[in-house]
Structure 1
């Protein structure tokens, strides 16, 4: 009996550690969301609840992300990294996020993105890369994105955009491109022709 009571008390003692919320974060159990925004964090908390679906990390000081940075939260569907001064993203940084649908990387300091950077995100629906310093996007950022419907790349330093990248997103509905450094050449003409077809089919875009 005493042994059973000891075991029970040990389990109760450990429960807050297993199901607890990271320090300086706020956890909401019904929605499985974790809000760590505006906390001056320099890295991702290591003790995030594994059942987390939505993770808010905006307005922190996270400058770099390691490979498989979010392996502890494999069920994640929404990730907000707005305004963190991220300058680059390591290959495989999003590895394991098979269920991620919304990724917000706006207002960082990204200059370029590796080819196939998002190849491990087959369910991605919304990608916001706006307000960075991106000067080049590769022809492929991953496998054909069958589910991507929103791409925001406005307010960057882009001079051209490979049409093959857009053609890898057959379900695109919203495309935001304005306030870049578009250079008038054959590449831009190809983009213009693609956009005309895109709008004709019901797609929504802003001005180039």
Structure 2
């Protein structure tokens, strides 16, 4: 209740000339309102300056206030420059009152996802005439009026999913706005949470006439018991979860997706092609399949750590031509089969620790690939088994394996009595010693083939 009062009356507090110093979180305004404690960078004269990061990239001013436990919108004059992008994700904001963003007229993007927002007043976005991107997903909104969007004529990208939308008559104007063909990027994936007969229907697809229509009592009674199916979308079988709705997506300064700790058993579908960083750590993905990342052609970093992963299919990393960092640590990998890493031309960091690497011939592809990519900095490639090699560097094991490979020997009588055969065996041995370590599939056919039988 206390936080709600702060948010709702913030702008009345801003005009208060009182400056009562309080030891805790706030001060009393002129009408007994609770206001944020005031001070400026040089002393107590302005609103509290949150511990946010101000930066400039490509001429755009970014203000990063993510995860700062904020329950109110900081005033625009808090910042040294007028921001182009304001990041307020993962805070404690509950209400967006009228005029919440006055002074932020230069904003191009506004990220408010993962807060506790349950109310957006109609004039909350007043003055944001240049705003093109608004992120309100993962909040507690049940209703939103079209009036709230009118002050943003250039809005082209709006995210509303993972809110408990109550699809009744007050949502009529918003639903009709989202369904205008030119608004194809507004409100995608948002679904009704209630009433029961409209549950899980997309706002984009719902018939607006149903919002203000009273349900048939007979059908309503049935819906309480079995669920009313007369207007539900046809159920579809979806083989994979959708990345857009399952993961948290952050758009600035670079597009990244946080899919960690989401209970995933496989890589989600629908990863956008412009995502630069994706975190899939701490899930239960045991098997990486071919084409899992075929659309994610812009990826620079990929975190697959802590997944109990046991196998990587050939082609599972196909298309990641620009990947620079790959984290496979803390999984159950024993080897990487030939061809898995072939598209990673620009990889710089490869994290491999905490796996069950088996030091036998199957591990040699990894070492051979690393030898051909000296720019890659690997970490954690250590033998886990067999016991005699546990804790040894895989690279050292492979070198020892090559040195200790037994030489083919002929019978003594042949060695002594047949000089031509003796010379032939010596040539074969010389070829073996000069041959570089590489998987059999990559070797150029040789005149002789040496087979290890031990």
| TM-score bin, normalised by smaller chain | 0.5 to 0.7
Structure 2 counterpart of 1:61, from 250, 256, 263: 263
**144 and 57 in structure 1: CA distance in 2 versus 1, 3 angstrom threshold:** closer
Structure 2 counterpart of 1:189, from 384, 397, 402: 397
RMSD across aligned positions (CA): 3.7
- What secondary structure does 1:18 align onto? coil
1:134 aligns with 2:333: yes
Contact 1:154 1:180 (C-alpha < 8 Å) held by counterparts: no
Gaps of 5+ in 2: 1-152, 154-172, 191-239, 402-454
What's the CA shift string for 1:86-129, capped at 9, x where partnerless?
11122111102111010000000211211232121000100000
Contact 1:127 1:152 (C-alpha < 8 Å) held by counterparts: yes
Contact 1:144 1:168 (C-alpha < 8 Å) held by counterparts: no
1:180 aligns with 2:347: no
Separation in 2 of the partners of 1:179 and 1:22? 46
What's the CA shift string for 1:1-34, capped at 9, x where partnerless?
xxxxxxx9888434887244866xxxxxxxxxxx
Separation in 1 of the partners of 2:399 and 2:275? 33
1:90 aligns with 2:289: yes
Gaps of 5+ in 1: 1-7, 24-41, 194-208
Specify the alignment match of 1:158 in structure 2: 357
Separation in 1 of the partners of 2:297 and 2:372? 18
**22 and 188 in structure 1: CA distance in 2 versus 1, 3 angstrom threshold:** farther
Separation in 2 of the partners of 1:144 and 1:86? 22
Contact 2:357 2:382 (C-alpha < 8 Å) held by counterparts: no
**84 and 13 in structure 1: CA distance in 2 versus 1, 3 angstrom threshold:** same
What TM-score do the two structures reach when normalised by structure 1?
A: 0.64
1:113 aligns with 2:312: yes
What TM-score do the two structures reach when normalised by structure 2?
A: 0.32
**127 and 192 in structure 1: CA distance in 2 versus 1, 3 angstrom threshold:** farther
- What secondary structure does 1:148 align onto? coil
Max Rg structure: 2
1:13 aligns with 2:221: no
RCO higher in 1 or 2 (8 Å CA, sep ≥ 6)? 1
